[in-house]
Structure 1
Amino acid sequence: MIISSRRTAIAFICSSVALSSWAADDAATIRAVVDTAIRPLMAEHDVPGMAVAITIDGKPTYFNYGVASREKNTPVSETTLFEMGSISKVFTATLASYAQVTGKLSLDDKPGKYMPQLKGSAIDKASLLNLGTYTAGGLPLQFPDEVENATMAAYFQQWKPDAAPGTRREYSNPSLGLFGHLTALALKRDFADAMQTQLFPRLGLSDSYITVPKSAMANYAWGYRENKPVRVNPGVFGDEAYGVKSTAVDMLRFVQANIDPARVPGPMQRAVAGTHVGYFQVGGMVQGLGWEQYPYPITAERLLAGNSATMIHEPNPAKQLARPHLPSERTLFNKTGSTGGFGAYVAFIPETRIGIVMLANKNYPIPARVKAAHAILEQLGPVTK
């Protein structure tokens, strides 16, 4: 029944109708809207640089602000590389969806199928779906400091749940990280290699990386923390949970693929659409694989609640939907991402064919990102009831 419902959802997503009445080439008007939201935000939070990208009816517009490096005074451009932080989780989820579409794994599988050392442990009672939706039963936001790559398996062997799988959502890098790790094992590939040689090319992303090559380092922005330049220092499952570096061009191309999965060929089309299926109701939000979903139109208050510290740092009751959520109504999808020196936000509404990407080289407050994006989308939408 889950598979049948998922296919129905994918068919609906791939056939969505454009509803936006905006002229996609009205760049001057869009710039005024974006400037009004972004310039005060950067001033208030001392953000060195931002790349903002808007897509309307499949046509992109880019707006660049400030610098990628204060030391070198390098201006931000749409080809500047930013750290995506937890937006990487959506890419990990897309890779898992691709593995499912191509028959390499099932979301109903248990971790022990791919890591035999986990068979019979508490984590093996959770499914891959639970790991991909943070509903395994109480995995923490971060690994304990003493956990290293060499002791990761032992950590999961000894982990004790606080709740039954599927009963609560607890946002977790170990949960999503293990989901990505198991996906790579199912594909019989190194995770970073699978992302960089399988996923990104099939999505048409030419400047997205887990490991930034020397040839692209000149485009890699410096993040800023306490006015000091920093870049991500990956830990256990860092690649899977927060390791993607990308540009406004590539991220907007990814958003466009999510708005219209038919833009990408073959199994990847179904993989992208598969990440739009919702599985758990958590307050006013539906949790899918990577993306978080809200009924559209939506108020700023409701969107802020779904991206609040309570949703990130505390366990929240989760109700598994009787069948996977079919986006039969207008739906807004979003995801935030942060590292020590970077902050990002992505949101889009397939039915209106409007999406936004906001990339910054400072980890400024999430509410500020959500408010700015909502204000922009409201002008382009509107998005409030």
Structure 2
Amino acid sequence: MDCLIVGKVWPEPSSTAAGRRTQDLMNALQLGGWQVHFASAAQPGAHALDLEQLGVQAHRIAVNDAGFDTWIQALAPDVVIFDRFMTEEQFGWRVARCCPNTLRVLDTSDLHCLRVARERALKTGESIQLRNETALREIAAIYRSDLTLMISEYEMELLSQEFSVADYQLGYWPFALSLSRPVPNFEARSNFIMIGSFLHAPNVDALRWCRQAIWPLIRTALPAAELHFYGSYGERYGPELHAPKDGFHYKGRAIDALATMAEYRVNLAPLRYGAGLKGKVFDGFQSGTPTVMTAIAAEGICAVPNGAQDEAVAFAKAAIKLNLDSQAWASCQQEQYLLCNERFYLPYWQPRLMDILLQAYDQKTARRARNFVGQMLCHHQHRSTEFMSRWIEAKNK
């Protein structure tokens, strides 16, 4: 089987959880014996994966370009995976027209309309409004696709209840981990860490909230403590948040996130909004670093967030306890190990991707017949997307 992944950006797994997600997809497909191609219209970043070295064929494509049609017809992939709904909007109609037998799969990475709704609610104090403008686009892309890969069971339930998306249209494929690497013990570690790309707005908000509300409480109880925060593309925020006199240190990009995190005693994830599964929490699991998290950070990881702390005082108290109490620290570490082995075990989930895709491929004719909403969108809204693209293409000429 041949699979093409159409990326919003070129994957940077050392920078973002979304990049790690794309790499996980490629690895799983290759282990299943599939030929993998990756294409993007974006410019590769300085930290993008060397796909050719990984055995993935890389292709540069362009939006609003009829050349894509000729190229995709010649490639004729069995499966196309669109990285987030924006790429499905740009290229989905072309794939559907040029390769009608190709299975079209959307990978949401996280549910964007949920993240947008939570951000607005946090900033305005209003209730969460899921049926926003982003939802109009994202849910349409889900209905137009033959299958949507979901990273969070919580978001699957939300799609079913709020937008009537059928079970057969969704496939659950979360982060999967291997916990085989040795890690330093309690005594060999010190201080606190936060990590996350500064291109992701929820990470910036979490740092600001920690700096203003949480860290002063920790610092009062532990005057010598330090918090080191790492993240790619953080140069514009470093001067704002870097405060060495208060023990709050911006450290720039972590070359090896897991090795870096393993030096610290406690991982902080004070996210106030967001969606999907949080890469920083899984970094804590893999590095054996107990993580204090809000309910948003824990969402999709456990049904009832054990130890989730949404108030600054409670969050700080939990962080201080883990920093001082070696028994509580070891107990938290063991609980997180057990959670990973029960719910995110790599040997189980890695081959599951091929099972999910092959089942959808074999059933695509029947699934398309059942999905009348998707048929309507492809007939009407998708045509408007096509004609807008064609107009831009003609204008560019």
Structure 1 and Structure 2 fold alike (TM over 0.5): no
**Bigger relative CO (Cα 8 Å, ≥ 6 apart):** 1
> TM-score, length-normalised on structure 1?
0.28
Q: Which entry has the higher C-alpha Rg, 1 or 2?
A: 2
TM-score (structure 2 length as normaliser): 0.27
**Larger fraction in strand:** 1
